[in-house]
Amino acid sequence: MRILTLILYFLIVTTSAQANESYADLVEELMPSVVNISTEKAVVSQDNADVDNLMLNPSLNGKESLGSGFFIRNDGHILTNFHVINGAKRISVTTNDGTVYDAKVKAIDNASDLAVLKIDGKTGHTKDFVPAKFGDADKARIGDIVLTFGNPYGLGISVSQGIISAKSRSIGLGEQQYIQTDAAINQGNSGGPMFDLNGEVIGVNSAIFTMQGANGVGFALPSNIATWVSNQLLTNGKVRRGWVGMNFANGVDQYTGENGFVVTDIEEDSNAYREGLRVGDIITAYNDRKADDLNTFIQFVEQLDIGQALRVKVLSGGMETRNVIRVQEMPQKALKEVTNKALIENAKSLHQDEDKDVFYISELNIAVKEADPRGLKIVKLERVSPLYGKGIKEGDVILEADREDIYSPDNLLDSIGNALSDDMRPISLLIQGLNDVFYVDIEVRLEND
């Protein structure tokens, strides 16, 4: 009985301690790093009802936008979201002690939606500003407690507590993946910091879901990306992203069955093309890393220094080669494509990590996966594909090839092989579209160069 009493006592004490736990000391320490941002500008309305990336106050009727930010240097440099200050005629920053400063835009990066501002201390104001310390978002775990700071609805600097609900979320804002949290993030929190309990920034509040009933779903740009971008903005005034001149999709090599990143498009003026890589090749490893996460690979390439070597292991026609690609700076055209990536593009099954059963048919320049109960669903259709312009769309299903039912990629490859050996005659495909089923004759080819 005495032992049971002691156990109950310790349980009560432990529960009471947890219930009385407070973040007040930590919050008091972090508050001086956070600022409110107010801008005079025309607010651009959004048509997207799912993702409210701007997190603006709709009651302001286009006169003003409210946001947040935090010091990244003690000389007055502030990091925030670009959309908070985009188009602003005047930017005002209010620090934790209530002092209001005029701010200037030092540098912006559209692709990551980040911007660096600068304020100068007033005459006689000699104390340094308090910069926040960046942490490592890669080490953060689902379930970790986080504190989000911001300026919700223009009420002033506020703090909310929650947990990391998920990581590596694609939400349609470029190629970046975000941290999801249930900590309260509201209109006006955009650009504010997300801290872990070590007092380090692990994310920048960037987006909220505003679908009816979608409460407690907010997103923050991971600190690793924010650190890399802000350092370049401070040093160079812009972000120089690495580029290898190729687009990719998750796929499977048709000869070996090995998973990797299928080259779906390649620029002829790229170093990758000069190294001999072509559409249909599959990268199975890079810089001693396994090619198993496409978004991680894309981010890895972007953050390589210009001229740095990207070592890749490539399967081409079932034969393995090793290539060294010197990274080039991403040209403006490619950067614009990265910046303007639409939500639907990120949602395509081809770009999801769990889709390891995607199969690339190089002879047709398409990526497919098995459909139920039969057929092959087209998850990627390249412009150079002989199917392109035939009324066939991504999401359509190939049901037959030359009047033979299709159940697997091997079935389709057999039909293609027969057509190629028979004087490269056209092949007839039965296609299940969204609203109809139709036949189409297409030409097949041996080369993709």
Pair (384, 361) in one structural domain: yes
Token pair 């991403």 is found at 330
Catalytic residue among 52, 109, 113, 253: 113
On whether residue 320 sits in a domain, the answer given is yes
Q: What is the pLDDT of residue 51?
A: 41
Percentage of the residues of the chain whose pLDDT score is greater than 70: 77
pLDDT at 45: 44
The answer to whether residue 449 is domain-embedded is: no
| 294 burial type by CB count under 10 A (0-12 exposed, 13-18 middle, 19+ buried) | buried
Q: Give Cα 281 distance to the centre of its chain.
A: 24
**How far apart, in Å, do the first and last CA atoms of the chain sit?**
82
Q: Which residues pair with 209 in a beta bridge?
A: 51
Residues 6+ apart with CB under 8 A from 127: 121
Q: How high is the pLDDT of residue 195?
A: 94
* CATH code of residue 38: 2.40.10.10
Which residues make beta-bridge pairs with 193?
204
For residue 60, how many C-alpha atoms fall within 13 Å in the half-sphere facing its CB? Answer: 21
Alpha-carbon span 220 to 133, nearest angstrom: 16
Residues 303 and 265 in one domain: yes
Which residues have C-beta within 8 Å of that of residue 406, sequence separation ≥ 6? 374, 375, 376, 398, 399, 400, 412, 415
Nearest to 30 by CA among 115, 117, 135, 108: 135
Distant-in-sequence, close-in-space partners of 126: CB < 8 Å, separation ≥ 6: none
- Identity of the residue numbered 139: K
Q: Are residues 249 and 314 in the same domain?
A: yes
Tokens coding 243: 């580029």
Is 190 catalytic? The answer is yes
Helix (H) or strand (E) run with residue 409 in it: helix 409-421
Of the candidates 164, 197, 227, which is a domain's last residue?
227
The rounded distance, in Å, linking the Cα atoms of 377 and 373 is 11
In a domain? residue 176: yes
Helix (H/G/I), strand (E/B), else coil: 213: coil
> To which H or E segment does residue 337 belong?
helix 332-339
Q: Which two tokens stand for residue 433?
A: 């579209």
Q: Do 64 and 142 reside in the same domain of the chain?
A: no
Q: How many domains does the chain have?
A: 4
Answer whether residue 15 is part of any domain. no
8 Å CB contact between 114 and 221: yes
Q: Which of 112, 116, 383 is nearest to 225 (CA)?
A: 112
What pLDDT does 43 receive?
Answer: 45
The region, left, alpha or beta by phi > 0 then psi within -120 to 50, assigned to residue 129 is: beta
Residue that finishes a domain, picked among 316, 331, 349: 349
- Domain contains 427: yes
Q: Are residues 264 and 221 in the same domain?
A: no
The confidence score (pLDDT) of residue 77 equals 94
Whether residue 145 is found in the same domain as residue 113 = no
Report the C-alpha dihedral over residues 243, 346, 224, 324, rounded to 10 degrees. -30
Global pTM exceeds 0.75: no
Q: Is the dihedral of CA 180, 185, 187, 188 positive or negative?
A: negative
**Any idea what the CATH number is for the domain that residue 426 is in?**
2.30.42.10
For residues 344 and 365, membership in a common domain is answered with no
Structure tokens at 434: 């969204």
pLDDT < 70: residue spans in the chain: 1-20, 41-65, 122-127, 152-156, 170-176, 186-188, 208-216, 336-356, 435, 445-449
Rounded Cα distance between 101 and 115, Å, is: 17
What residues make up the domain containing 69?
29-118
Note whether 366 and 344 are same-domain residues: no
Are 296 and 312 members of one domain?
Answer: yes
Active-site residue, 408 included: no
Single out the catalytic residue among 33, 68, 83, 160. Answer: 83
253 and 187 in a common domain: no
Overall residue count recorded for the chain in this entry: 449
Q: Let me know if residue 1 belongs to a domain.
A: no
Q: Which of 33, 165, 190, 206 is catalytic?
A: 190
Domain boundary among 118, 142, 160: 118
DSSP state of 319: E
C-alpha dist (Å) from residue 164 to 69, 159, 170, 199, 211:
20, 15, 15, 15, 20
Both 344 and 362 in one domain: the answer is no
> Would residue 8 count as lying in a domain?
no
Any domain includes 394: yes
The residues, ordered by sequence, that sit 6+ positions from 203 with a Cβ below 8 Å of its Cβ are 137, 146, 178, 179, 181, 193, 194, 220, 221, 222, 223, 226
Are 148 and 106 members of one domain? no
